[in-house]
Amino acid sequence: MFDPTRPAGPKIIAVANQKGGVGKTTTTINLAAALVEKGCRVLVVDLDPQGNASTGLGIDVDDRDLTTYELLLEDVDLNEIIQTTSNEGLYVIPATVDLSSADLDLMANEKRSFLLHDALRQTAMDAFAFDFILIDCPPSLNLLTVNAMVAAHSVLVPLQAEFFALEGLSQLMLSVREVRQTANANLRIEGIVLTMYDRRNNLSQQVEQDARDNLGDLVFSTKIPRNVRVSEAPSYAVPVLNYDTTSKGAEAYRALAREILKKHASVAA
C-alpha cells in the first residue's frame, strides 16, 4: 500500500555489461566515490560473485559474514549487512563466491526476479537516507542481472573502446527491453559511458563515433581514459579519487558524476 509520508527512495542504477573487462566494477566504485564527493549518500550493492567491488572498497574477505546472498535469500538486519567504507557517506553490501550458487537457489523462489527489488525497498532502508544505490552486476545476463534490472530505475552501461564493443551491446539492450515488457515498465538506459579510452588511438575514436552515430544522446559526453592510476587503485583497496585525486581518471569520474547529477536534478539539489 502506498504511504505518502514515506520519503522518496534513492535512485537505483544497475551498472551492467555481459562482457567482462570493460570497466564495470571500476566505474561502479569510482562513480560512487565521485557522487559522495558531491555530497550524496551512496550504497554500492556488489552483485558479482567475484566480489571485486567489495575488495576495491576495502572490505576484506574475512569481514564478509553477511553478503548480497543473504540480502536476496534470507531475512537479515540491514544494519548488519550494510558496511561502511573509508569514504564517509559511501557504503557497501559485499559479495563472496557464495553468490555464484544464487542462480540455482533463486530458481526455486516464485518471486525470484523481484528479490533484490523488494530487499532494496524495505522500510528499514529509509533510515540510511541514500541518494543513490549502484548495483555492480556480474559479467553475464543471468538471474542476478535480471534481479538488478528489475530493482533498478536505470541501467548504466560501460562500453570499452575496442573492436567489437558494440556487438554485445545489442543483446544487453534486448534484455533491458524484455525486463521492461515483463517486470519493470519504467526501466530506462541511464547512459553509455566509454571506458579505457585512448584519444591517441584511432580505434578508440572510431568506436566513439560509431557509438554516438548509433546511440546518440545515450552516450555520455564524459570518456573514461585508459589511466594507470585507475588500474593501480584497486590494489590499494580505495577508489582512484582517494589514490590519486588529481589524476585524469579521477577527474573523468567526477565529470561523469556531474553528468548524472544533472540528469537527476532533484538529488543534486
The pLDDT assigned to 33 comes to 98
- DSSP state for residue 77 in the 8-state scheme: -
Q: Mean pLDDT in the chain? A: 91
The pLDDT assigned to 7 comes to 66
Could you tell me if residue 18 is inside a domain? Answer: yes
Question: What confidence tens digit (pLDDT) does each residue in 139-195 have?
Answer: 988 999 999 999 999 999 999 988 777 777 888 999 999 999 999 999 999 999 999
Residue found under cell 580505434: 203
Could you tell me if residue 4 is inside a domain? Answer: no
Could you tell me if residue 123 is inside a domain? Answer: yes
Average pLDDT over every residue of 70-93: 95
C-alpha cell at 73: 535469500
Instruction: Tell whether the model's pLDDT for residue 269 goes beyond 60.
Output: no
The CATH number of the domain holding residue 129 is: 3.40.50.300
**Can you tell me the distance from the alpha carbon of 25 to that of 14, in angstroms, rounded to the nearest whole number?**
11
The pLDDT assigned to 5 comes to 60
Could you tell me if residue 5 is inside a domain? Answer: no
Could you tell me if residue 1 is inside a domain? Answer: no
Closest by Cα among 47, 58, 263 to 147: 47
Instruction: Tell whether the model's pLDDT for residue 256 goes beyond 60.
Output: yes
Q: Angle at CA 75, nearest 5°, toward 72 and 77?
A: 105
How many independent structural domains does the chain possess? 1
Domain of residue 76: give its range: 11-268
CB within 8 Å of 27: residues ≥ 6 apart: 15, 156, 158, 193, 195, 224, 253, 256
Could you tell me if residue 6 is inside a domain? Answer: no
The pLDDT assigned to 168 comes to 77
Instruction: Tell whether the model's pLDDT for residue 53 goes beyond 80.
Output: yes
Average pLDDT over every residue of 115-139: 96
